[in-house]
Structure 1
Amino acid sequence: MQVVIVDDDSSTLFITSAVIRRIDDADPVGFSNPGEALDWLERNTPDLILIDQVMPDLDGMGMLKRIRGQRHLADVPVVMITADTSVKLRVAALESGCTDFLTKPIVVPELLARAQNLLRLRLGQRMMTDHTAMLRSRVEEATAQLRQQAQELVARLARAAEFRDPETGMHIERMASYTRLIAARLGLDPEECDRLAQAAPMHDIGKIGIPDAILLKAGKLSPSELQVMRQHTVIGHAVLRGSDHPLIHLAAEIALGHHEKFDGSGYPNGVRGTDIPLSCRIVSVADVFDALTTARPYKRPWTLEEARSFIAQHSGTHFDPACVDALFQSWDDVIAVHRAHPDPDDVEVV
């Protein structure tokens, strides 16, 4: 443990250093010039600092204030050595961050006892800091593991829905990417954008509860079949709701509300405008845009420009205009995503 000693009196500096060497694992670092000591302290963090009060150029009080002004030295104990026993000086020193005092002339047993006690306290402080850092690291590791597990759960559930709906293909990959682009353009922070992109693939998880005769029907659904199909929003929300994990909670919100429309004509609850959660408004644009550009047994894939025209036409009715603008402002990236994640046997249509 390093003990810095600052005293312009060479004999006192020599004696103090010799006393410190008598303490196990203690190494004195002596300075007769306060400026040189401060230069060293800017680059190092000792375990104890002993400073003389009366020194030329910079006295002990001035040096104490400089020491406490450096963050890495804020908790290092500082002992002031002085012949001045006035209450005024001691109060001022304590208010400036002084830890303890030694009175000149130095009594060797007292110096030894005080230094040993302060070094023991410093060692305990360092051990506590190390332990806290270790606990923080473990908490961060556990949190990261839980986050990873939640992300894996979301991905696997999304994949389960894909098995029920073989037309999905790369739809969830593309719409998740479009979701991220829109969210970023709206100014959401990177963590929120990531969470939205991870939760978006869960939007149709409720389809696992839709009968195959309806889910896999090639033709147009009848009104009664359409009513059953629309229940996938409620089913998805029921599957995911009640979780305390932010990602699962967000996925539940999206599953319920991604078919709501900005003018209130959507389902299942007919919510309108900004009463629809932003996550759902973002995913709605991303989902419909990609669905339009994807081939289905009952339709050809629309070109990107055709899909863009449709989205623009329904801005303010079906879609939140801000989300539409965000998609269009990222148009080069939208094209890149479309090309990077083609469905099997796709012919590129732009």
Structure 2
Amino acid sequence: MTVDAEIHQARILVIDDQEANVQLLEGLLHAHGYTNVKSATDSRQAIDQYAEFRPDLLLLDLMMPHLDGFQVMERLKPMIADGDYFPILVLTADMTLPTRQRALASGARDFLVKPSDATEFMLRVRNLLETRLLHLKLQEYNRTLEQRVRERTQELEDTHLEVLERLALAAEFRDDDTGQHTRRVGESAAHLALELGLAGAQVELIGRAAPLHDVGKIGIPDAILLRPERLTPLEFEVMKTHTTIGARMLSGGRFALLRLAETIALSHHEHWDGTGYPQGLAGEEIPIEARIVAVADAFDAMTNDRPYRQALTRKEAWVILWAGAARQWDKTVLEALESVHWREEAMPAAAGGALQPVL
């Protein structure tokens, strides 16, 4: 079965007290091939409908009699397993900042203002369902690995790597439509690890785990992730959760690669002086792999175009990095990056002046 077919088999639950709105949403979904749709105009039925239908996506109005959308989300929380990715798309005419912030804090993954553009609505539905499908596949794959750990083969190992690589790309495509940032960070991190004298096996693991550093961005709403303006304090708090979301998604793995990816996802925003997040680690309390990825990630983000700004020159990036030495970044890792780039610039023109993979 193709990915497209799997997505269109997804179960979608619509909760809105206005019959006209329900009919409009059902009509749009059916017109785009989503036929497994249930709805309710009485929000008191939401919990029973969820328990019976087990939807993959909830389309939820906020302003409703009996139970409003916030109360529905609160009652659903105990029914959603820890680490489960259940997307809720809030549809509301109230797009004031307090309402949006409260919706995000209550468990919404995304929101749209009513009336919404039909094309944008369908794109967001598909995006949330694709993420849900990837998350379910990863969960199922981890269960399969648990059952077959004693008979692991090279084919399973290759498939495992491919799933992780695709998961990294799924997160990366959210804010980099080239999908190249994660690849570059992986290659750069491997070069830094080699320059710092880490063992060959550890260098390879870092190179493969580093692209998953931002996998938790899968759980950050587009309205925050792609916002070109400065985030509000509450929005930044939501953005910061990509570290813990990523760590939870990768947790519990038996393989060294998954364990290292979990460590990197959790700690790559820690600062040398202890002012980073999420744990406020300082100095060598921060795992060396996370310190390496922090530098590789920062340099690549600075020197390539991102949704929120244009690329800086290498000179401009170096000024920022060295200004943060021994505060945000490990000075030793910055020195390693400088050595790697010095050799890169010294390469003959015929070599293209580009880092070559070391994996």
Structure 1 residues 271-325: Cα deviation after superposition (integer angstroms, max 9, x where no partner)? 0000001110000000001111111344221111221222122111101111111
User: How many residues get paired?
Assistant: 203
Superimposed CA distance per residue, residues 209-250 of structure 1 (whole angstroms, 9 cap, x where no aligned partner)? 111111111211111111100000000000001101110111
Q: Which has the larger radius of gyration?
A: 1
Residue in structure 2 matched with residue 304 of structure 1 by the alignment? 314
Work out whether 1:196 is the aligned partner of 2:206. yes
Counterpart of 1:303, as a letter, is: T
CA distance in 1 between partners of 2:172 and 2:343 (Å):
25
Q: Residue 201 of structure 2: SS of its match in structure 1?
A: helix
Q: Is the 8 A contact 1:178 1:334 kept in 2?
A: no
TM-score by length of 1: 0.54
The aligned counterpart of 2:63 is none
TM-superposed deviation, 1:201? 0.5
Correspondences of 1:315-330 after superposition (within 5 Å): 315-330=325-340
Q: Distance in 2 between matches of 1:269 and 1:306?
A: 29
Q: Which runs of 5+ in 1 are unaligned?
A: 1-138, 342-350
Distance 2:344 2:186 in 1: 11
Gaps of 5+ in 2: 1-148
Structure 1 residue corresponding to 2:259, chosen from 241, 249, 252 = 249
How far apart are the structure 2 equivalents of 1:339 and 1:161?
29
Structure 2 matches for 1:289-300, cutoff 5 A?
A: 289-300=299-310
Query: Shift in Å at residue 149 of structure 1?
Result: 2.7
Residue of structure 2 equivalent to 1:233: 243
Post-superposition, which runs of at least 4 consecutive aligned residues in structure 1 deviate over 4 A? Answer: 139-143, 333-341
Deviation at 1:168, TM superposition (A): 6.1
Q: CA shift at 1:340, angstroms? A: 4.9
Query: Does structure 2 conserve the Cα–Cα contact (< 8 Å) formed by 1:151 and 1:247?
Result: no
Counterpart contact for 1:294–1:301, Cα < 8 Å:
yes
- Which whole-Å deviations, capped at 9, do the CAs of 1:16-69 have from their partners, x for residues lacking one? xxxxxxxxxxxxxxxxxxxxxxxxxxxxxxxxxxxxxxxxxxxxxxxxxxxxxx
Query: What RMSD, in angstroms, separates the aligned Cα atoms of the two structures?
Result: 2.5
Counterpart for residue 283 of structure 2: 273
CA contact (8 A) 1:150 1:247 kept: no
Give the TM-score normalised by structure 2: 0.53
The one-letter code sitting in structure 2 at the alignment partner of 1:184 is: L
The answer to whether the Cα contact below 8 Å between 2:226 and 2:307 also exists between their aligned partners in 1 is: no
Question: C-alpha distance in 1, partners of 2:178/2:261?
Answer: 18
Aligned to 2:220: 210
> Does the 8 Å contact 1:315/1:321 carry over to 2?
yes
Aligned to 1:115: none
Task: Give the equivalent residue in structure 1 for 2:294.
Answer: 284
- Opposite residue 305 of structure 1, the aligned amino acid is K
* Aligned counterparts of 2:304 and 2:295: Cα–Cα separation in 1: 14
Given that 1:177 and 1:197 are in contact with CA atoms closer than 8 Å, whether structure 2 keeps it comes out as yes
The aligned residue for residue 156 of structure 1 is 166
